[in-house]
Chains A and B, each alone.
Chain A
Amino acid sequence: MSKLLVSPSPHIHADVSTSALMRDVVIALIPAVLVSVVFYGWSELLVLGVSVASCVLLEYLVTRFMMHKPSTIGDLSAVVTGLLLAMNLPSSTPWWIVFIGAVVAICVAKLSFGGLGQNVFNPAIAGRVFLLISFPMQMTTWEAPQGLFGADAISGATPLGQVKEGLLAGTPLSELVNSDYLSMLFTNIGGSAGEISALALLAGFVYLLCRRVIKPHVTLSIWATVALVSLIFSLAAPERFTGPLFNLLTGGMILGSCFMATDYVTSPMSVVGGIVYGIGIGFITMMIRYFGSYPEGMSFAILLMNAVVPLLNMWFHQKKYGRA
């Protein structure tokens, strides 16, 4: 008789793996990727291609030849980082800037901390923020969408950028805000490629919820905070401050709250911690939008709250059985 295996319990495992979870995130991003390619055309396809390819290649090279470890590209987390980085950039970004973003995301923000699971900051956001500070011109010049099939193009600055510049120039807010929220929900937002369709992003978010890849508490807490803060401010001074719907649908709010703030590694472990984390992101975003010099603040807010996560993990724990 052959020898029997002996090992401690449990003897079975749920059919779940890191790569399967990451694959679900990739699937969830497909609708938004497709919409952005259709609207921005070949230039967006180039940004996506360069970003994903450099993230995967860099992760392979660094883990194999600098860290002397088995390659971790199989877990697909580099693909997710590459997609998210590309979605956070204007489609007009030159390929070499995209590559620098990938270097910062993968080599600096992720692998120098020890790789997946060890990083404090969301790699894609770290890459984007580095580029935003280093190449402000290229990062805030928004190419009007050309469209893969010559679809209708919209022009110029982002809605939040228009508001910020207009207010500085003394234009009344009512003339600056485009209140066509329905078209915002579908497509017509200038800005980073990933922001173009809130609806496509939300579809991906719902997919992740249904597959139980993520829980909704972080996202909902961001939305609630943004809605509440902007409601209070816009009611108090409607001529200066934009309202809830406008803030929820612009400036990478959906992309950030659904796909970036919900990153496992850089968000708190407990539900209560996650809600506090979401409140922090929502509040900081609104403060930057209303009082800061950048028109939008989602990336900075997430990055700042990433730094607080270890503390949140120390303060907030799950409720234990039989212990008050």
Chain B
Amino acid sequence: MNRTFSIGGVHPHDSKISKDCAIEALPLPPTVYISVAQHIGAPAKPIVAPGDKVKVGQPIAEPGGFVSAFIHSSVSGTVKSIAPRADLAGNKQMCIEIAVEGDEWYEGIDTSDTLNTDFSDDNKEIIEKIRLGGIVGLGGATFPTHVKLSPPPGKVCETLIINGCECEPYLTSDYRTLLEKGPQVVTGTAILKQALSVDKAVIAIEENKPQAIEYINKLLSDLRKVSSKYTGITVMSLRKRYPQGGEKQLIDAVMHRQVKSGGLPIDVGAVVQNVGTALAVYDAVQKRKPLIDNTITVTGECFPRQANLLVRVGTPLSFIIDYLGGMPADAAKVISGGPMMGKAISNLDAATLKGTSSLLFLTEKQTRRRPESSCIRCGRCADACPMGLEPFLLNRLAHAGLTDELEKNAVQDCIECGCCLYSCPANIPLLDHIRQAKGQVMGIIRARAAAAKAAASK
């Protein structure tokens, strides 16, 4: 029996209807809008001005702090403007608008398909190339990768986990990447493993993707014969269960260790990177190609054409939709990400980001919230919660505004995976209320920490 995480979880229908669609490159849009806030941390600072000519892969914004990342032009052309523009949710974000002219790449980038599985032993150089490539985690959080590769002093990484679970229904971009860019992902894994100086790397894939598991295993056994840099990398097949791709759940599944509340994966010796990130690392280190495109699953039963598209960062969503046949009449909701944790999009003029993994179209019937009825105390929410919380209790406490009790019952540990609301037979909007309460309690915790710090420095 394959491993899985030890607490909670649900089994939504996997709906991976786009899994057989090979990755195809989307034609270039006439204009791209590249946000300077595509990662967790400080927004990047633009280093180009309107009127400048830029090439594909040329840096156009530099990190705005320690936790920040470079942004590169994803096209060649002329910078038209640097101005606030509405993002997926309608919030204004600073964007660099570039009119596309041709497809000329920046000097030093290797655009050939030649596979290069041998890499330098110089870890500093590797991490610097990753930093210059603007690589961020593509599993959802978009945390700058070079920061994650530099553990704080005293912390030692024992296992690198490459997250290939893709446990959200509908999403297939990681699966297609494993099948079509397997050698690059494996090389990227070896590079990450070396940069962290760990002996062990695990590529975790759920058992409903047997083709990917078999293929990566074969690649690994071939590469191990060629180079010692590939020893210690294994594939681990995991049981299918949502939210296995959650960082904390994946560490529990692979290492049988749990990250303490408020702690970091490195505290238990783990660093988790996504399949897409491993590919981006390969591109940055072996090809000097920065993160300027990513694979996006475009899917939904009501959508005319399922696809996995290689999309340049900053492409307007409406361009993607029109390319695939236009907005279906019965689509009621468009989601960036999966149906469990993705965000509903209100603005289809918004442009893609480095971390955009999918565009999912759901009909009203599929996504409708049914009317709420009384809690029957069935306990399904508590059974489903992968953090071992009691959503029915947190919901009641949130209604009563009892922040002390909420903190005692660990509302701040909620990972917002949606399992509670998903499994509630009374259709109580548990996560809506818990998410709000969590924000409130996190604010209180932060204020308390700041006050303690101020008192200590006096």
Interface residues of A (CB under 8 A from B): 1-2, 4-14, 16-18, 20-21, 72, 75, 77, 114-118, 264-265, 269-270, 317-323
Please judge, given known A-B contacts A5-B344, A118-B374, whether A20 and B367 are in contact too, CB under 8 Å. Answer: no
Check A322 against B343 for contact (C-beta < 8 Å).
no
Check A270 against B346 for contact (C-beta < 8 Å).
no
Most buried by A among B260, B377, B426: B377
Please judge, given known A-B contacts A10-B341, A322-B258, whether A4 and B334 are in contact too, CB under 8 Å. Answer: yes
Question: 14 interchain pairs (CB within 8 A)?
Answer: A2-B329, A4-B333, A7-B369, A10-B340, A14-B12, A16-B424, A75-B373, A116-B376, A117-B377, A265-B376, A269-B382, A318-B7, A318-B382, A320-B388
Check B418 against A320 for contact (C-beta < 8 Å).
no
Please judge, given known A-B contacts A5-B344, A9-B418, whether A18 and B386 are in contact too, CB under 8 Å. Answer: no
The 4 A-B pairs at the shortest CB distance, nearest first, are namely: A10-B418, A320-B388, A117-B374, A322-B258
CA distance A117 to B260 in the complex (A): 34
Residue B226 at the A interface, CB < 8 A?
Answer: no
CB distance from A79 to the nearest CB of B (A): 14
CB distance from B331 to the nearest CB of A (A): 8
Check A11 against B333 for contact (C-beta < 8 Å).
yes
Of B55-63, B141-149, B287-295, B427-435, the one touching chain A? B427-435
Most buried by B among A8, A10, A114, A264: A10
Check A5 against B421 for contact (C-beta < 8 Å).
no
Q: Chain A contact residues: over half helix, strand or loop, or mixed?
A: loop
Known: A4-B333, A323-B410. 18 other contacts (CB 8 A): A7-B369, A9-B339, A9-B343, A10-B339, A10-B340, A12-B169, A12-B339, A12-B340, A17-B370, A17-B426, A72-B373, A264-B378, A269-B390, A318-B382, A318-B389, A318-B390, A319-B7, A320-B389
Check A320 against B387 for contact (C-beta < 8 Å).
yes
B314-356: CB near A (< 8 Å → 1, else 0) gives 0000000000000101001111000111111110100000000
B377 partner residues in chain A, CB cutoff 8 A: 117, 264-265, 269
Please judge, given known A-B contacts A269-B382, A269-B390, A322-B260, whether A11 and B340 are in contact too, CB under 8 Å. Answer: yes
Please judge, given known A-B contacts A264-B377, A321-B388, A322-B248, whether A13 and B421 are in contact too, CB under 8 Å. Answer: yes
B248 partner residues in chain A, CB cutoff 8 A: 321-322
CA distance A5 to B346 in the complex (A): 7
Check A4 against B376 for contact (C-beta < 8 Å).
no
How many A-B pairs have beta carbons closer than 8 Å: the answer is 150
Check B12 against A12 for contact (C-beta < 8 Å).
yes
Residue B422 at the A interface, CB < 8 A?
Answer: yes
CA distance A10 to B379 in the complex (A): 19
Residue B416 at the A interface, CB < 8 A?
Answer: yes
**A13, A72, A116, A269: which contacts B422 (Cβ < 8 A)?**
A13
Most buried by B among A5, A11, A265, A269: A11
CB distance from A114 to the nearest CB of B (A): 8
CB distance from A67 to the nearest CB of B (A): 12
CB distance from B272 to the nearest CB of A (A): 15
Chain A residue nearest in CB terms to B346: A6
Chain B residue nearest in CB terms to A319: B388
CB distance from B99 to the nearest CB of A (A): 25
CA distance A323 to B387 in the complex (A): 10
**A6, A13, A77, A270: which contacts B370 (Cβ < 8 A)?**
A13
CB distance from B134 to the nearest CB of A (A): 27
CA distance A17 to B252 in the complex (A): 31
Check A321 against B382 for contact (C-beta < 8 Å).
no
Please judge, given known A-B contacts A269-B390, A318-B390, whether A5 and B432 are in contact too, CB under 8 Å. Answer: no
Check A5 against B387 for contact (C-beta < 8 Å).
no
CA distance A302 to B427 in the complex (A): 29
**Which chain B residues in 397-446 approach chain A with CB under 8 Å?**
410, 413, 416, 418, 421-427, 431-432, 435
Residue B263 at the A interface, CB < 8 A?
Answer: yes
Check A318 against B344 for contact (C-beta < 8 Å).
no
Chain A residue nearest in CB terms to B366: A12
Residue B34 at the A interface, CB < 8 A?
Answer: no
CA distance A10 to B242 in the complex (A): 12
**B260, B327, B366, B427: which contacts A323 (Cβ < 8 A)?**
B260
Most buried by B among A16, A20, A321: A321
Residue B392 at the A interface, CB < 8 A?
Answer: yes
Chain B residue nearest in CB terms to A323: B261
**A16, A20, A321, A323: which contacts B252 (Cβ < 8 A)?**
A321
CA distance A75 to B339 in the complex (A): 27
Most buried by A among B335, B374, B382: B374
Chain A residue nearest in CB terms to B382: A318
Check A14 against B342 for contact (C-beta < 8 Å).
no
Residue B125 at the A interface, CB < 8 A?
Answer: no
